[in-house]
With several copies, the nearest count.
Chain A
Amino acid sequence: MIKEVTDAPEAEARIGRLRLLEALLFASADPLDEETLAGRVGPEVGVLLEELRAHYAPRGVNLVRTGGGWAFRTAVDLAPELRREEEVSRKLSRAAIETLAIVAYHQPVTRAEIESIRGVATSKGTLDLLMEHGWIRPGKRRETPGRPLTWITTDHFLDHFGLETLRDLPSVDDLRAAGLLDSRPVLLGLGTTGDDSALGADDEA
């Protein structure tokens, strides 16, 4: 990993920064953002991170980028040998799983929009459960009549599902190209009791 550099003291300092970066990332279970890391190892942190990433790429532990941060994670291909029982989502309901996907792919999305896509009212215990898992959070209010609250995914969502950015969501480009991520007005307002006006307003936005 350590490149031969002619200037010995400079090379040593660089190795020192690389070791520190490695230790910082290793010590933390959660991703660390580049700004925080730069504060500890200096402005060339981007180059050092790439070097570390390359070094760890073939190993059993990888350096991965997720959201705005970097973290060490066990290699994906070792999953079968490391698989633990699903403790996080022992029994996520279909409603919760679908709702999370809709928030992920349609964000920022209002509850009325989620309901119009699913065709049923959102049961209590769905959004709060997803929020408790740290996967979604309230976003900005939509600047339409009623100013409905929107929901968006968190960085922890990306981390949990091993995504670097939202662009890496499975099939997201295909779905968008097929127009399936449009919040086009629907003719049949199922499940959205009372929120019809707010829904109509959302769709125009």
Chain B
Amino acid sequence: MVDWVAEREADSAASAEASPSEQLLLVLDGFEGPLDMLLALGRDQKVDLTRISILELADQYLAFVAEARKVRLELAADYLVMAAWLAYLKSRLLLPEPEGEEPSGEDMAAALAFQLQRLEAMKGAAAQLFARPRLGIAVHSRGAPEDLDLRRKSVYEVTLFDLLRAYGQQRARKDAGVLHIAPVRLYSMEEAVRRLSSLLGHMPDWATLASFLPGGEGGGLLTRSALAAHFAATLELAKSGRVELRQEGAFAPLYVRGRRQGGRDGDISEETHSHD
């Protein structure tokens, strides 16, 4: 168990009896998304955020995700995208830098550290702002104003908010009866596992992971999340012994094939991210 999880549990008496999945849910409940969670993990390193170990942070986060998946807790897609990105970042930091245009692992780590510092700064600023003596709470205006109406050219009091809300409500009324739910444009790992499982039957030999990806429709984040989800799915399937993975070197294409009956080939390097 990751220690900060235990630490948070101590805050809540209710969690004492909770099952591991309930505990994780309680933990998740307290966060405004994966970046917020990373920040909390970072604070637990008890160092200045400018000297934070991104590598250690990545490990802690991946351990959390592994834990969540062990208890079959469905994580929001954002959390999985972050996990895939951190796994990638970790490999970039640990392995020799490849030639190429891509930002270096160090740059990527620095960018993440900046994001965390900036979020931390905004949280601090918010706290300072709301600690100020606020009007109507700590400081008070004239309780019995004598309405002199010096500036108001119009006798009608209507604000931009009133106007926009009226229009929004009018539009909503017009659309009433039709409930629009924006589709989640992210590929889930469950989908990827199902997809890979069914596809692998049709693939007799090694094939690149890229060849399993769904077609390019959607683009952008959807494609990136599909890659992340499929990558995570191969790890999951490898762990349960259903596929084998092979990679010639760092950043070389990742090959996948269904596990064969006989023993393993000598050159297979199995990649697993299990945390015991």
Chain A residues with CB under 8 Å of chain B are 23-24, 26-30, 32-33, 36, 39-40, 71-76, 79, 82-92, 94-95, 97-98, 100-102, 104-105, 117-120, 128, 131-134, 137-138, 159-163, 169-172, 175-176, 178, 180-194, 196-197
Contacts and interface: CB of A to CB of B under 8 A. Distances in A.
A135 to B, nearest CB: 8
Given A105-B122, A105-B125, A162 B36 contact: no
A74 B139 contact: yes
B148 A97 contact: no
12 contacts: A28-B150, A30-B144, A84-B148, A85-B155, A88-B155, A89-B157, A100-B129, A117-B119, A138-B160, A162-B133, A163-B160, A180-B121
B117 A188 contact: no
Interface string B135-166: 11111111111111111111111111111111
A61 to B, nearest CB: 9
Contacts of B141: 27, 29-30, 71-73
B100 interface: no
Contacts of B169: 181-182, 186
Contacts of B112: 187-188
Contacts, number: 287
Interface string B31-63: 011111000000000000000000000000000
Given A84-B149, A162-B134, A183 B156 contact: no
A194 B167 contact: no
Contact of A187 (B108, B148, B162, B178): B108
Closest 10 CB pairs of A and B: A119-B35, A120-B33, A79-B138, A101-B126, A101-B167, A27-B140, A170-B128, A181-B168, A180-B168, A29-B145
Given A87-B155, A160-B134, A76 B143 contact: no
Interface string B104-120: 00001001101101110
Nearest to B224: A189
Given A29-B145, A186-B115, A97 B150 contact: no
Interface stretch (B12-20, B77-85, B237-245): B77-85
A23 to B, nearest CB: 7
Given A71-B141, A76-B133, 5 more contacts: A91-B157, A94-B32, A98-B166, A119-B36, A190-B34
